């Protein structure tokens, strides 16, 4: 049975459970629902939940675990000589998956399969006709693997259908057996809902763990083939396609920090001051059109900002600042990317700060004004300190955006890794290099590619450290002022 109908059947069982559970509860007190602990729908609801939720969880877990189990078997069937030199088994395995998938599709469209399976080259042309392109030539062993894969998949799905239906039926029976007038269905539903919420938040946490885990895994792999000391302490970034690269971290980290710092120097004062204007001085009508206008900045795709940097800001800075000052004549520069990125993150600072400043109680302003302070003294000495934890959060959000930005850097600052103080020189950042290392033509298992994961982990650590720092600042501040 395929997944769609299976899910539908389980949901139908749930609906039936709702109706039966409700009716059963009412029947047990002969229609006098005052004798029930909870209102009848609660009995229906808990029955439906116990029927549907465990079965759906089982399906999800099964689908997650399935590939690992059925693919190892297929992988072992692939003959070693069928794996082309320089290609990994994973690549061949991807083709096996495509073949298995394609054969099923051909079969569905009514094409005779048997003759194709006998001749790998005929199969390849047939698959090509069905818009499925294989990277490698199918061989006898890969075809066998594909067949095994299909069989394993079919039997796995069959087993899944049986087990899931069984579980749903069990849940239904269990829930029905528990229904008595004293049964606290309302509280049980409440608890069930709580566990559902816990499970949802767990998904978010586990995803983070999974992302970090996969980064960590590949990073360890990287450090096995490239010395960690060179990565952390070398100041040279010079990847070579034929090996012998220097993959020093510092030019990239420096570029990232330099560009982000310029962006924040632009965005924090402008954003904060426009937030103060909006929250404290602007009339309601002004505010109602200025605020959305600033927020539009956040909606512009970064590639458009990149274009702006490339064709407007870059040449402008070069012609009017860098060249006359003798600081170089490159139109890609840290300054270009930093300025444009600063404009991009202004709304992150201003919009959030505006909300936070607005949340400061009016009574504090009254207190200060009532002593004879001017509005600007009130803002500087009372409103901003009261809003500071939130403002730090807003700035941090802007910083994370700046550190993670790629497009503006590629188009504004270039792709040359360099350690330099001159803001009018082309430099590049960690994110840009992650992209270029992964999209290169090099083999996946080479240090030149794997370094991307180490860089990713570095970036993650950087933003994490930033977040922790902000947390410490905010907490210290709270202790002082709350």
Partner 1 sequence: MKDQRLETRVDTQTIKIEARKAQVYYGTNHAIKDVDVDILDKTVTAFIGPSGCGKSTFLRCLNRMNDTIPSCRVEGRITLEGEDIYDPRVDPVQLRARIGMVFQKPNPFPKSIYDNVAYGPKIHGLTRNKAELDEVVESCLRKAALWNEVKDRLAAPGTGLSGGQQQRLCIARAIATSPEVLLMDEPCSALDPIATAQVEELIDELRSQFSVVIVTHSMQQAARVSQRTAFFHLGNLVEFGETGQIFTNPRDPRTESYISGRIG
What contacts 158, CB < 8 A, 6 or more positions away? 1
Site for partner 1 in 272-311 (CB under 8 A): 283-284
Specify whether the backbone of 82 is left (phi greater than 0), alpha (psi in -120 to 50) or beta. alpha
Q: In terms of CB distance, is 316 or 364 closer to partner 1?
A: 364
- Give the relative orientation of helices 185-225 and 40-77 as an angle to the nearest 10 degrees: 20
Residues in the chain, total: 482
Per-residue x/- track, 133-162, partner 1 (CB under 8 A): ------------------------------
Q: Which stretch binds partner 1 (CB under 8 A): 59-67, 114-122, 363-371, 407-415?
A: 363-371
Shortest distance (Å) from residue 373 CB to partner 1: 5
User: CB of residue 385 vs partner 1: minimum separation in angstroms?
Assistant: 6
Among positions 169, 373, 419, 473, the unique one binding partner 1 when judged by CB under 8 A = 373
110 binds partner 1 (CB under 8 A): no
Candidates 89, 366, 461, 468: give the one binding partner 1 (CB under 8 A). Answer: 366
Q: Specify the residue for token string 């890609």.
A: 332
Part of the chain binding partner 1 (CB under 8 A), chosen from 68-76, 192-200, 214-222, 368-376: 368-376
Please say whether the beta carbons of 264 and 396 come within 8 A. Answer: no
CA distances from 57 to 166, 183, 199 (A): 13, 25, 10
C-beta contacts of 318-326 below 8 A and 24+ residues apart: 318/424, 321/424, 322/424, 325/424
Between 389 and 447, CB nearer to partner 1: 389
481 binding partner 1? (CB under 8 A): yes
Name the minimum Å distance from CB 371 to partner 1.
4
CB atoms within 10 A of CB 410: 23
Question: Per CB under 8 A, does 364 bind partner 1?
Answer: yes
Please choose, out of 170-178, 361-369, 401-409, 448-456, the segment that lies near partner 1 by the rule CB under 8 A.
361-369
DSSP state letter for 81: G
Q: Which range in 106-114, 125-133, 357-365, 446-454 contacts partner 1 by CB under 8 A?
A: 357-365
- Residue 53, both tokens: 């939720």
Closer residue to partner 1 (CB): 173 or 385: 385
With beta carbons less than 8 A apart as the criterion, state whether 338 and 262 touch: yes
Please name which of 407, 405, 399 lies closest in space to residue 464, comparing C-alpha atoms: 399
Question: Are 271 and 347 a contacting pair, CB within 8 Å?
Answer: yes
Among 150, 291, 365, 401, binds partner 1 (CB under 8 A): 365
* Closer to partner 1 by Cβ: residue 325 or 371: 371
By CB under 8 A, residue 120 contacts partner 1: no
Of 142, 351, 353, 368, the one binding partner 1 (CB under 8 A) is 368
Is the distance from CB of 10 to CB of 56 less than 8 angstroms? yes
Distance CA 368, CA 383 (A): 10
Rounded Cα–Cα distance for residues 155 and 58 (Å): 16
Can you tell me which of 369, 397, 419, 473 binds partner 1, judged by CB under 8 A? 369
- Sign, CA dihedral 254-256-257-263, equals positive
Q: Does 372 bind partner 1 (CB under 8 A)?
A: yes
Q: Does 377 bind partner 1 (CB under 8 A)?
A: yes
- Is residue 422 within 8 Å of 328, Cβ to Cβ? yes
Cβ atoms 399, 389 nearer than 8 A? no
- Write out the binding residues for partner 1, residues 381-400 only, by CB under 8 A: 381-382, 385-386
C-alpha span between 414 and 434 (Å, rounded)? 14
- Indicate whether 374 belongs to the interface with partner 1 (CB under 8 A): yes
Q: Pick the piece of the chain touching partner 1 (CB under 8 A) from 107-115, 260-268, 355-363, 432-440.
A: 355-363
Minimum CB distance to partner 1 smaller for 382 or for 466: 382
Determine how many CB atoms are found less than 10 A away from the CB of residue 425: 20
* Pair 3, 165: CB distance under 8 Å: no
Q: Is 24 in the site for partner 1 (CB under 8 A)?
A: no
Task: Restricting to residues 202-261, name those near partner 1 by CB under 8 A.
Answer: none
Q: Chain centroid to CA 264: how far?
A: 24
Q: Is 361 in the site for partner 1 (CB under 8 A)?
A: yes
Q: Which stretch binds partner 1 (CB under 8 A): 47-55, 121-129, 158-166, 375-383?
A: 375-383
Counting contacts by CB under 8 A, is residue 363 touching partner 1?
yes
Out of 86, 244, 326, 370, name the contact with partner 1 by CB under 8 A: 370
Q: Which stretch binds partner 1 (CB under 8 A): 12-20, 289-297, 334-342, 380-388?
A: 380-388
SS3 label, residue 198: helix
Residues forming the site for partner 1 (CB under 8 A)? 283-284, 361-374, 377, 381-382, 385-386, 480-482
């Amino acid at each position: 049975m395929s997944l769609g109908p299976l899910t539908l059947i389980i949901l139908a069982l749930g609906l039936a459970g709702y109706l039966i559970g409700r009716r059963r509860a009412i029947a047990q007190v002969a229609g006098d629902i005052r004798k029930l602990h909870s209102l009848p729908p609660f009995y229906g609801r808990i029955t439906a939940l116990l029927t549907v939720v465990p079965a759906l969880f089982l399906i999800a877990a099964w689908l997650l675990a399935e590939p690992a189990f059925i693919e190892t078997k297929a992988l072992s069937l692939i003959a070693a000589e069928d794996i082309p030199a320089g290609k990994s088994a994973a690549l061949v395995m991807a083709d096996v998956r495509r073949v298995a998938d394609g054969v099923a599709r051909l079969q569905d469209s009514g094409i005779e399969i048997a003759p194709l399976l006998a001749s790998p080259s005929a199969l390849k042309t047939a698959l090509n006709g069905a818009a499925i392109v294989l990277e490698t030539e199918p061989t006898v062993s890969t075809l066998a693997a594909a067949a095994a894969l299909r069989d394993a998949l079919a039997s796995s799905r069959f087993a899944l259908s049986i087990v899931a239906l069984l579980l749903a039926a069990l849940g239904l029976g269990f829930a029905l057996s528990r229904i008595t007038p004293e049964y606290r269905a309302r509280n049980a539903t409440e608890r069930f809902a709580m566990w559902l919420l816990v499970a949802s938040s767990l998904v978010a946490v586990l995803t983070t763990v999974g992302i970090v885990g996969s980064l960590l895994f590949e990073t360890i792999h990287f450090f096995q083939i490239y010395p960690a000391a060179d990565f952390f302490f070398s100041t040279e970034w010079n990847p070579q396609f034929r090996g012998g690269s220097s993959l020093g971290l510092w030019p990239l980290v420096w570029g990232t920090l330099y560009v982000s710092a310029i962006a924040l120097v632009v965005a924090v004062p402008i954003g904060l001051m426009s937030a103060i204007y909006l929250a404290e001085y602007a009339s309601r009508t002004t505010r109602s059109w200025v605020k959305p206008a600033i927020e539009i900045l956040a909606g512009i795709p970064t590639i458009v900002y990149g274009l702006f940097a490339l064709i407007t800001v870059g040449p402008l800075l070069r012609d009017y600042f860098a060249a006359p000052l003798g600081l170089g004549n490159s139109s890609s520069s840290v300054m270009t990317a930093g300025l444009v990125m600063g404009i991009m993150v202004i709304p992150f600072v201003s919009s959030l700060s505006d909300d936070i400043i607005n949340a400061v109680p009016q009574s504090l302003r009254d207190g200060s004004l009532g002593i004879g302070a001017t509005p600007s003294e009130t803002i500087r000495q009372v409103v901003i300190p009261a809003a500071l934890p939130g403002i730090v959060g807003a700035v941090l959000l802007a910083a994370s955006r700046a550190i993670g930005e790629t497009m503006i850097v590629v188009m504004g600052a270039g792709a040359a890794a360099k350690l330099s103080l001159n803001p009018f020189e082309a430099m590049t950042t960690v994110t840009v290099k992650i992209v270029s290392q992964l999209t290169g033509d090099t083999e996946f298992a080479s240090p030149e590619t794997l370094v991307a994961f180490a860089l990713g982990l570095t970036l993650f650590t950087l933003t994490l450290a930033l977040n922790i720092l902000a947390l410490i600042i905010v907490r210290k501040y709270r202790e002082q002022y709350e």
